[in-house]
Amino acid sequence: MFKTVLIANRGEIACRIIRTAKRLGLRTVAVYSEADAKALHVKLADEVHAIGPAAAAQSYLAAEKIIAAAKAARADCIHPGYGFLSENAAFAQSVADAGIAFIGPPPSAMLAMGLKDRAKALMEKAGVPVVPGYHGERQEAKFLKEKAYEIGYPVLIKAVAGGGGKGMRRVDRHADFDTALEGAQREAQSAFGDARVLIEKYITAPRHIEMQVFADTHGNAIHLNERDCSLQRRHQKVIEEAPAPGMSAALRAEMGNAAVAAAKACGYVGAGTIEFIADGAGGLKSGGFWFMEMNTRLQVEHPVTEAITGLDLVEWQFQIAAGEKLPLKQDQVPLNGHAVEARLYAEDPERGFLPSTGKLIALKFPDGEGLRVDTGVTVGDEVTPFYDPMIAKVIAQGKTREQALGVLANALDTTIVAGPRSNAGFLAALCRAPQFRTGNFDTGFIDANLDALGATPQGLDKAAAALGARELLTRERARIADQIERDADAARSPHTSPWDADDGFQLSGPRRQIVPILADGEKVTAQVMQEARMTTVTIDGIAAAADAVAAVATSDSVYVLRHGRQTKVAFRDLSLDEGGDGLGGGTVRAPMHGKVLAVLVDEGASVTRGQRLAIIEAMKMEHTLVAPLDGTVSEIAVTKDDQVAEGAKMIVIEATKD
């Protein structure tokens, strides 16, 4: 076994690897960028090395810096985690050339399976079923469009070097192909440095089912059962579970045999995942699944496999890389109960799941039987625009699927995330969705049920806002009382209070008052009834919520968490115009921190509502900004390649006059 491991990653996966490594007696070495100097994985490691600026290209993707750190720390192995360099064959080779063990497959296996076109050709040769499509070398737009027509719509355009939904577009009409191809190629080039794509038939009721495989250097290969990853948004997995609903033992064996054949065909070693697309229409069935791709690394969702097997997959990775044989044979692999994992992200489901950055003012996870939480952040940490905005993975286990989903939904209900917005409420709604509960779902389930899942604008939660106002008032009373206690003359001295901005609010005697507040940036008034020591607060007749999970106070505001949603409440200073910038509805602002990829209009141009204006990139995903109204472009405040902050003015449109 190894003595020292360098983890070439960050966040929750780095923390998770450190835990197993320490249990095995390994010395742990972490690397970090300037943005991660105080990160949790840095605090947990035995030794740390700085590797550069916040930008991943200059730090976590800088192979030479990571190898130099490993040499300096005298590490005898490097674990890449997932993402970043984990599937980079050149990096794996450089690690081996440096005399350091790579905790992962050989570079040859990465090369064979890393490019989707080559992988599909290899699978066809090995007898593994493959989705019909074009996987060749020709990349001319006209030729690819012809192939899409021959395959028959709908089709998927997929980046050859892709993963995580990047560089992927579904196309339903021949007329839409050119625009979709352009977007997929641009996104693929940005994310992977390779704009090449393939075209394949889109399965209309697809289930995404993957098999966890392991292989050793002695010619042995097995699978550790399947995971269902069909709940996706923009091809990004949201909730994963094991085993797959509706999976029979016979079909598991059939799919497992195909997965093992795929691993052996590329000379695989270590942990990997064979991803299949299955036709979910009428239920899972023999012959109704096809190879999509292989992930030559550990998966984000590996904890659900650990839960149903009782195995530590990271420990297995170390053992295999050290030359040991697989600990179990195929017929010895356990399958006990059911496990479900939810990816808790700093994002806003009501605004198209845009990433939400900022300081984690409060963070608390539930603890109980059947629960596991993998996280890489703590209270006070910043969710930055530089990396994936995952806060944690919440994993629930039960004897049955129904029990596991119930445990997970309750855990998400009581999870506290204040500061950045989170998708906790959306995830809980998914866990309780009737169709998902009964196993009647496919990869399009989320997009087809956004309203029911609370993933469309919900409007201000007035009960939460009223509670926030009450908390602000209570704190203000305490502040004034403390001031009076400290200074006997304070009662006769004028004091500054937000309440004075309205009508000289008094804190004694029964009285009904109107108090101006800002709730999620919206100007509202709270009606306050003060009698004796009891304060009643309402907004538009709606009383303060009694079922909020938490009300977290900062120096100038209160964050109320209710039903997984966050409402920020603050006093409103009537001398300021906090309700907007006075520029009207024609101002188009950056919806998140990101990079301007393209500006599609010129000043003076006439535009119509919904017309594409600009493209901004965040977290390696593209977001198109459109005109909110008909009018004329009067100002363009950004140019291509600009870095913009959330809320920054980008384009101003003057409305067309009737």
Is 478 exposed, middle or buried (CB count within 10 Å of its CB: 0-12, 13-18, 19+)?
Answer: exposed
Q: In what order do the strands lie in the sheet with 390-398?
A: 289-295, 270-279, 206-215, 221-233, 236-242, 338-345, 390-398, 371-375
Helix or strand run (H / E) with residue 285: none
Say if residues 114 and 89 touch (Cβ distance below 8 Å).
yes
CA distance 234 to 121: 26
Mark out the alpha helices in 193-339 (DSSP H runs): 249-265, 302-309, 313-321
Main-chain phi, psi angles of 605, to 5 degrees: -75, 145
Question: By C-alpha distance, which of 462, 454, 445 is closest to 422?
Answer: 454
Active-site hit among 297, 343, 562, 565 = 297
Q: Residue 496, by phi and psi: left (phi above 0), alpha (psi -120 to 50) or beta?
A: beta
Residue 535 φ then ψ, to 5°: -120, 125
In the chain, the amino acid numbered 222 is: I
- d(CA 648, CA 596) in angstroms, rounded, equals 12
171's tokens: 């196309």
Residues 6+ apart with CB under 8 A from 503: 513, 514
Whether 297 is a known active-site residue: answer yes
Which residues are registered as beta bridge partners of 618? 621
Contact 226, 211 (CB under 8 A): yes
| Residue 492 DSSP class | G
Per the structure block, which two tokens stand in for 278?
Answer: 């299955």
Helical spans, DSSP H, in 171-248: 177-192
Closest CA to 182 of 195, 194, 164: 195
Helix (H) or strand (E) holding 189, with range, is helix 177-192
Give yes or no for a contact between 128 and 265, defined as CB atoms under 8 angstroms apart. yes
The dihedrals phi and psi of 271, each to the nearest 5 degrees, come to -90, 135
Catalytic residues: 297
